[in-house]
């Protein structure tokens, strides 16, 4: 009798659960009441969906894809080495090329430059070089054809000891506007430890050849609302992570847009995590009425949930962005009609061009990705030394087998 008394409640609970649980078919029909109203025969045929009553999660996502065609889809080609002074040179780091502008028939590019190997954080961080981009100054070069370059020399040096930029100035971007030239770039103040907060500086000139006047203070700083845990030099130990840019503001790029100046940047958060898409990197924007600022961060930040280096350009009244390297939306091209609310326009194959320097002399309105036809990037020749390379890309609107005729 004890055995029977114990089993009866279990059986009843099982029957009750079975009566209340819908079958897979009923659940699909329930979920499809709304979906079936909006699924056309054309969508069924295009996506190869067999039955409206049985939609997988993948099919439901596919039905939400925008119908925007292939004009945003591209593939990158193999990188090409440069000639002249920007060819690889052992012992010299040249990396993070800016966009190129064309002035008086010549292309100009700015970049991070340092010398010597990297020791990392294990030794004397006051005197060692902790990253390849540590102890950098900003140099520039010119070219008539985009292949052979002449290194013109120093553009923006590190600041004097005690200044906010005394350790390194690097990852530079150029903006030409109303006959003047503006360079924005990352800055680090000594000592360069793993918890140091990177900022953004600015320099301006009347000529692309300088001389450059530097801002006395940074134009953008990390959010000040994260809290480190303890004093150990460990950037993953935090009591409070803070905003998406509580640790570093990186990779700045200023675009004149709708009568204002949009400073796009990469944010790194204190206690940065690894998500299902990789490193937790996101982008933000700060807006000013004047190129020199003050810049105010958008309340809509972050404006991406993926990406690494900033690569943005104007198109069709909005702003386009190439998102690479990190996050669940990496390797996508996105577009925002207002420069803030970005949507995916294409998912492209793996991108071998990073820290892209766009060709700002391109005709942006010819097609969405015209500015990506060629430009500059960098490669790791080895961990200690990097060099600047040339990238190219091409549109892909069809997939055709060898010998097959394309429509």
228 burial (CB, 10 Å; 0-12 / 13-18 / 19+) is: middle
**Residue found by looking up tokens 């394309």 in the block:** 406
The model's confidence at residue 400, banded by pLDDT at 50, 70 and 90, is confident
Contact 132, 146 (CB under 8 A): no
pTM above 0.85, yes or no: yes
pLDDT average, residue stretch 60-65: 91
- Note the pLDDT of residue 407: 64
Q: Rounded to 5 degrees, what are φ and ψ at 349?
A: -60, 170
- Highest-confidence segment of 20-34, 40-54, 357-371: 357-371
The model's confidence at residue 27, banded by pLDDT at 50, 70 and 90, is low
297 or 53, higher pLDDT = 297
Summary mean pLDDT of the chain: 91
pLDDT average, residue stretch 262-272: 97
Closest residue by Cα to residue 71 from 391, 384, 382, 365: 365
Distance CA 245, CA 48 (A): 42
Closest residue by Cα to residue 218 from 259, 185, 190: 185
The model's confidence at residue 9, banded by pLDDT at 50, 70 and 90, is very low
DSSP 8-state secondary structure symbol assigned to residue 211: P
Indicate the range of 170-174, 336-340, 358-362, 394-398 predicted with least confidence. Answer: 394-398
The model's confidence at residue 23, banded by pLDDT at 50, 70 and 90, is very low
For each of the domains in the chain, give its residue range(s) and CATH number, in order of start.
Answer: 2-63 (no CATH), 74-395 (2.115.10.20)
The model's confidence at residue 1, banded by pLDDT at 50, 70 and 90, is very low
Per-residue pLDDT tens over the stretch 129-164: 999 999 999 999 999 999 999 999 999 999 999 999
Judged by phi (left if over 0) then psi (alpha if -120 to 50, else beta), residue 159 lies in beta
Check whether 5 has a pLDDT greater than 90: no
**H/E segment holding residue 345:** strand 343-347
Closest residue by Cα to residue 141 from 133, 131, 132, 152: 152
């Amino acid at each position: 009798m004890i055995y029977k008394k114990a089993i009866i409640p279990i059986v009843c609970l099982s029957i009750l659960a079975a009566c209340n649980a819908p079958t897979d078919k009923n659940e699909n029909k329930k979920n499809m009441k709304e979906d079936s109203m909006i699924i056309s025969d054309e969508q069924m045929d295009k996506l190869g969906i067999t039955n409206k009553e049985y939609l997988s999660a993948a099919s439901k996502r596919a039905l939400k894809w925008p119908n925007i065609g292939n004009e945003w889809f591209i593939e990158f080609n193999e990188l090409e080495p440069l000639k002249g002074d920007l060819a690889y040179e052992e012992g010299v780091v040249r990396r993070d090329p800016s966009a190129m502008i064309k002035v008086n028939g010549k292309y100009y590019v700015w970049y991070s430059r340092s010398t010597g190997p990297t020791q990392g954080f294990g030794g004397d961080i006051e005197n060692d070089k902790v990253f390849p981009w540590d102890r950098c100054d900003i140099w520039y070069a010119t070219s008539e054809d985009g292949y052979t370059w002449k290194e013109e020399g120093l553009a923006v040096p590190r600041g004097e000891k005690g200044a906010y930029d005394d350790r390194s100035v690097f990852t530079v971007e150029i903006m030409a506007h109303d006959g003047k030239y503006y360079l924005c770039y990352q800055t680090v103040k000594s000592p360069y430890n793993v918890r140091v907060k990177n900022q953004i500086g600015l320099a301006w000139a009347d000529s692309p050849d300088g001389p450059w006047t530097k801002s006395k203070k940074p134009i953008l700083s990390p959010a000040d609302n994260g809290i480190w845990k303890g004093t150990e030099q460990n950037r993953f130990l935090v009591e409070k992570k803070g905003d998406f840019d509580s640790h570093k503001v990186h990779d700045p790029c200023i675009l004149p847009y709708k009568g204002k100046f949009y400073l796009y940047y990469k944010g790194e958060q204190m206690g940065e995590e690894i998500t299902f898409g990789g490193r937790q990197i996101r982008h933000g924007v700060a807006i000013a009425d004047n190129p020199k600022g003050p810049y105010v961060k958008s309340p809509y930040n972050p404006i991406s949930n993926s990406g690494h280096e900033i690569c943005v350009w104007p198109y069709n009244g909005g702003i386009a962005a190439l998102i690479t390297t990190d996050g669940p939306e990496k390797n996508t091209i996105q577009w925002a009609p207002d420069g803030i609310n970005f949507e995916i326009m294409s998912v492209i194959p793996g991108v071998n061009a990073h820290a892209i320097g766009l060709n700002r002399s391109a005709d942006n309105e010819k097609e969405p990705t015209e500015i990506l036809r060629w430009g500059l990037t960098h490669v790791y020749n080895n961990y200690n030394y990097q060099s600047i390379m040339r990238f190219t890309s091409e549109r892909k609107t069809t997939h055709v087998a060898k010998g097959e005729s394309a429509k």
